[in-house]
Structure 1
Amino acid sequence: MDPNNNKPQKKLFFVSLAFSLILSTFLIFLSVFISSNPSSHFNPASQRVVDRETPRFVESKLSVSPTSTDPVPRIAYLISGSMGDGDSLKRTLKALYHPRNQYVVHLDLEASEEERLELDNFVRDEPMFARFSNVRMIVKANLVTYRGPTMVTNTLHAAAILLREGGDWDWFINLSASDYPLLTQDDLLHSLSTIPRHLNFIEHTSDIGWKEHQRARPIIIDPGLYSVHKSDVFWVTQKRSVPTAYKLFTGSAWMMLSHPFVEYCLWGWDNLPRIVLMYYANFLSSPEGYFHTVICNAEEFRNTTVNHDLHFISWDNPPKQHPHFLTVDDYQRMVNSHAPFARKIARNEPVLDKIDSELLGRKVDGYVPGGWLTQTNSNISKPEYAVRNTTDLRPGPGAERLKQLINGLLSAKDFKAKQCK
């Protein structure tokens, strides 16, 4: 082969190599020029703007959720009971029912398996509940110890279910099988439609008085935290000091909490709800202090409280551990209180029938009539209903009573003074 024939190929190779080097050098200079240009993607001034607008910590990126703008509010209810409360739960649930609301019912582990199964069948088979799919039962029941922190954890459990599955509701109300409404849901929804939805109705005070030495300093253990058999709380010998990282509050265990505050208790983005929950795990009657302490130590919520539990409860003076059971003799005082709920009412107490007939217009084993519902027959054993527009409210005297109560609370001269003081 003639060696001179390789010269054109070598020349072509060197020309290609030279062109590649020139192109690479040009690209390197171009990239250096762009990176040093003030108008390029890396701009210190623009970086400072980003630093100001983007929070550094995850806690500051989380904020209180906006409240609903729906003209008619929605309520999320927890109705809880124990052994023998199954029938009372059914009655209270029907007296409280409205298609716009959401409901969770709970029978704790002290109730028999048969009683809980009967309640579960009732929830699943009731045609009205099936139609609107807004009633749920906590099938995996919790063991709830009276006066113990398991009452708090059960409330948080129900609230979590309602947040995940209950859609857009505005307030959360916790009730027991011994609670009963003193007005219709049309009355309640109509009255609440005119007030700010960030408000939390929770009776509270920082004046814990004798509770410091009898509840805050002693340490109790709730067997419901680790046992499947119900028993009372017990005390350990050690005492503890009162917290200094936050201030203790106490009050009623029954409340109406806003959606944003319930969400905060479960998300707890600044850790306060979890810290306080750990403390109240060893606190006697923790349902009377946990939510009160959280709300009054959280900057976002301490000015959202209304100091009332929306209940009529008859106490001794001074109060004992348990309130009186209400009877027909207390009926007029219940009505005059303007409260939407009353407790404690025993199973099958005659005053329940009086409330049904005179305040709720409810037939035996029926629903409470309202703008959304009318009974189409007079058969007491098998009533039939016609369902209309669920946003059609027909408030009655109960709405006027509740409006007087709420307006009085919100317009009181000492309203702000009673907020977390």
Structure 2
Amino acid sequence: MYVKKSLILLTVIIAVLGCTKKRVEVEPVNLTGSEQLVLVTANYGRPDASLTALDGRTGKVKWKMAFDGDIIVHSKVLYLNRRVWTDIVNYADTVSFYANSGGPQNLLTIDAATGKVIRQIKNTLRPDFTIGCCSTYQFNSLVKIEDEIAYMVLSEYDFGIAYRETIYATDLAAGQVKWKYKVPSEKLPLDVYSRNGITVTDGKVFVAGRNQSFVLDASTGHSIQEYKMGGLINPVEGCYYLTKSYEASSIDAKSGNVKWRFGIPAGDGAITSTPLLVYNDLAYVCTMSGSISALDKGTGEKKWTFKVKEITPYSNYKVSMRSGMLYAYNESLENNRLFSLDPITGKLNWEVLMDDNSDNISQQVGDENELVYERTMSSVTAVDSKTGKKVWRRLNPKGEVINNIHAYNRAQLDF
């Protein structure tokens, strides 16, 4: 009898433990607003191109997928545009770019927590969207998604010498092109390869050519304003902030007239921030030599200047604003330092020497709140935004080359 009771008791204990273990395994983790996701794109233009999601707090891999293209967040959803380089075989073909490509024929929305595809959006172009004669290849770039409309650019290259650009808008619900605008040759080239030459805001599409700039109505694609000046993009409170090699200027968006000019002092090197970084009442100018100046955005008057002490012959400093703090970083082979500055006074909060090796030729400050993320071609590093202390560093798998990083918190993206 005693043995029987003991066996029953042991069975109950095992069952309870088993149930407890099972509940722990399926219990969801409470996510907080401070958690972050870092998306890393690598091996751009190669068959083994990839997109990897890292836990922003630890640097551990959450998921990884084959991907080469553009990433846009809209309404807390992650949209991917696979950039497929397509060789044109039939020059007389009048069907869309996607019908000619051997790759995916759509935009994707994916679950940011798992990397799995949620839905696919067909991007069917109209029959009159023709392929120009003798194009060797073409590809699409996704610029922005706003009000369920995807703004994109179709680029066509002629044997790598000349090219055409067509800006168009696709209705995501219908998968149909709403309008298209073929950029006239005199307005080319555009800086659309990196999507830096086009922005969409306030119902307008702002396009910066090398020699001319223009504005399209975002609902119709009709040209509504043109400037005989290149590089005008992303106006702030009615003004463009333009840079040339050794001069920064403010341009009135209505008239195109110059409001003020700021000349770079001799010895400071060329300006690297294009267009100017504008935050609150200040515009920030950064030069190759690590001279960072804050200008009154209304008058061009210099408020303060911060100069990096240790300069190498190939320094190429740039600035970035994240969560109300100004960061300066060096796109160089040597002395890869990351600086945190007070954006109002220019006071140095901290500086840290990043991993100094031959792969450190392209840095970019990420996002957000307590951590900022710096990337090189071979690694991603998380830095405490208050102290400059390195929190974690992740080296790439052998053979992977990082192209970019995108960091999001829970308020920006569901994951």
For the pair shown, the structure with the greater C-alpha radius of gyration is 1
Question: Which protein is richer in strand relative to its size?
Answer: 2
The alignment's TM-score, normalised by the length of structure 1, stands at 0.24
The alignment's TM-score, normalised by the length of structure 2, stands at 0.24
Question: Which protein is richer in helix relative to its size?
Answer: 1
